[in-house]
Structure 1
């Protein structure tokens, strides 16, 4: 005769069910630490760096496009996550930026979004990525990289600056801590949006040189900061980008002379 201890079986089943429940809750809690959870009526998302690691303290701006100067501003947590509850009326454009210091200068850097459409008050998920280079979407202007405004000094007889070849050799790490590479660049052609500018440069410090072909000979040009009276012309110029200038942010303004 088979003897069954009903009380013992019930206790065992209860223990197993409890363990399963605890395990499931633990898995969900762990996943929620670094996973975006969509919520109706909220805008949520994650912000990562150039290596895909979460960024804490990134600023996310949710702009109510129906009402002037009616923004919601939140910051990402230690896992790069953010969420913001939305009012019942409005449509929303979402942007994000970070601040990062390099060579004792603090730069504000726009982040790339995976959603460029305006969202309703039902909410949605908008993630962001830090990019060193690349064209910004249509609702923004310019590039994620830095830029250089190139100008001829008084006395220069070069009237085709698009034919000047600039070489930028990185000094130290780029702003994201990665290793840069040597760049060879020209400005845009006349009548183009990029005429007189070098654009989309990974932000860092560089040694800049410039050469120009004149009468069949290649000559080295001298460069300096345009609006810095203490800056001395040199054929080997240390290029540093400024967080703010009269012409824009994260750029340098230089002038050349033969």
Structure 2
């Protein structure tokens, strides 16, 4: 009897730990279940992410999707149709955050991109992070989670290979973290600085060889060039997009 009581106590303690410790994956979200796709969303520290949107999309029928949102523990559960003709599905996720008065939709890192049958179900977990690959299968040519700074320079006045940008965070980043100052030289054959954590930045530019400070402004802002500019990442393509960019102009002062 004593051994039985100890075993029951151990089960209770493990269950309680799974509910409170974000690093513990419970059986409910780790074992596949027929007709269901489920899983968990956490951040880089393993903390649960609530209100993340998970979409299961049919790979056989256009625009056929099912949507769920994570709870306070970061878990979600999507019931899928299980008819013979239902075919296969893929899962993707985003989280929307209110940042500087607007809704910022961020893609979630996908640990497993394999399609699955609706009948068999699947477990698909996601991570909310600001930089790095969007999926485990991405290579170096894929667009990362971070935003891009697109740079246009006045070719008569600015030597491209000498151009150095400094991005200093202004307040917290989109996930609430502090962020760090980023100093980058422009790539030789690319007009973009890529995989920058989305946030608001004070941006300056200089010629790293001569030390000359250069002028900067945001494209289409109609502002004059100045020694620095404070810029916020915006959607690269359309409202609700998960690709973010700043378009910067650089010239002499």
Structure 1 match to 2:143? 142
CA-CA distance at 1:49 after TM superposition: 1.9
Provide the C-alpha distance between the structure 2 equivalents of 1:204 and 1:233, rounded to a whole number of angstroms.
Answer: 22
1:110-121 superposed matches below 5 A: 110-121=107-118
Structure 1 match to 2:229? 237
Provide the C-alpha distance between the structure 2 equivalents of 1:40 and 1:186, rounded to a whole number of angstroms.
Answer: 51
Find the residue that maps to 2:46 and give its secondary structure.
Answer: coil
With over 3 angstroms needed to count, the CA separation of the structure-2 counterparts of 1:90 and 1:158, relative to structure 1, is farther
With over 3 angstroms needed to count, the CA separation of the structure-2 counterparts of 1:218 and 1:18, relative to structure 1, is closer
Gaps of at least 5 residues in structure 1 are: 1-12
CA-CA distance at 1:181 after TM superposition: 1.3
Taking structure 1 as the reference length, the TM-score comes to: 0.79
Provide the C-alpha distance between the structure 1 equivalents of 2:218 and 2:35, rounded to a whole number of angstroms.
Answer: 50
Provide the C-alpha distance between the structure 2 equivalents of 1:27 and 1:74, rounded to a whole number of angstroms.
Answer: 29
Provide the C-alpha distance between the structure 1 equivalents of 2:224 and 2:148, rounded to a whole number of angstroms.
Answer: 21
Contact kept, 8 Å, 1:62 with 1:72, in 2: the verdict is yes
Provide the C-alpha distance between the structure 1 equivalents of 2:59 and 2:238, rounded to a whole number of angstroms.
Answer: 28
Contact kept, 8 Å, 1:146 with 1:250, in 2: the verdict is yes
Deviations 1:183-212, CA, capped at 9 Å, x for gaps: 11133332xxxx111111111222111112
Structure 2 match to 1:225? 218
CA-CA distance at 1:94 after TM superposition: 0.7
CA-CA distance at 1:87 after TM superposition: 2.0
Provide the C-alpha distance between the structure 2 equivalents of 1:186 and 1:136, rounded to a whole number of angstroms.
Answer: 24
Asked if residue 209 in structure 1 is aligned to residue 204 in structure 2, the reply is: yes
* Selected match of 1:196 from 168, 176, 191: 191
Contact kept, 8 Å, 2:53 with 2:67, in 1: the verdict is yes
CA-CA distance at 1:143 after TM superposition: 1.2
Asked if residue 130 in structure 1 is aligned to residue 121 in structure 2, the reply is: no
With over 3 angstroms needed to count, the CA separation of the structure-2 counterparts of 1:163 and 1:203, relative to structure 1, is same
Taking structure 2 as the reference length, the TM-score comes to: 0.80
CA-CA distance at 1:172 after TM superposition: 1.8
CA-CA distance at 1:119 after TM superposition: 1.4
Structure of higher CA gyration radius: 1
Find the residue that maps to 1:217 and give its secondary structure.
Answer: coil
Structure 2 match to 1:45? 39
1:1-258 superposed matches below 5 A: 30=16, 33=19, 35=26, 36-38=29-31, 39-88=33-82, 89-121=86-118, 122-137=120-135, 141-153=142-154, 156-158=155-157, 161-190=160-189, 195-212=190-207, 217-229=210-222, 231-243=223-235, 249-258=243-252
With over 3 angstroms needed to count, the CA separation of the structure-2 counterparts of 1:246 and 1:221, relative to structure 1, is farther
Provide the C-alpha distance between the structure 2 equivalents of 1:21 and 1:180, rounded to a whole number of angstroms.
Answer: 46
Measured on the aligned residues, the alpha-carbon RMSD in Å equals 2.9
Provide the C-alpha distance between the structure 1 equivalents of 2:212 and 2:236, rounded to a whole number of angstroms.
Answer: 32
Structure 1 runs (4+) greater than 3 angstroms displaced: 16-34, 137-141, 243-249
**How many residues matched?**
235
Contact kept, 8 Å, 1:41 with 1:123, in 2: the verdict is yes
Provide the C-alpha distance between the structure 2 equivalents of 1:59 and 1:145, rounded to a whole number of angstroms.
Answer: 19
